[in-house]
Amino acid sequence: MTYASGNQCGGASWYALSSRTASGERMNANLMTAAHRSLPFGTIVKVVDQHSGRSIQVRINDRGPFIRGRIIDLSRAAAQRLGINGVGKVCLEQI
DSSP states of 22-87 as a string?
TTSPBP-TTSSEEE-SSSPTT-EEEEEETTT--EEEEEEEE----STTEEEEEEHHHHHHHT-SSE
Q: From 2.40.400.10, 2.60.120.10, 2.40.40.10, 3.40.50.2000, which CATH number describes the 2-94 domain?
A: 2.40.40.10
Task: Give the dihedral of Cα atoms 48, 52, 54, 60; nearest 10 deg.
Answer: -40
| pTM for this predicted structure | 0.89
Fill in the DSSP letter of residue 20. B
Q: Residue 16: its pLDDT value, please?
A: 84
How does pLDDT run across 28-54, given as a tens digit for each residue? Answer: 999 999 999 999 999 999 999 999 999
Domain ranges of the chain: 2-94
Give the percent of the chain with pLDDT over 70. 94
Give the residue ranges of the chain where pLDDT is below 70: 1-6
* Residue 68: count of CB within 10 angstroms of its CB: 8
pLDDT at site 6: 55
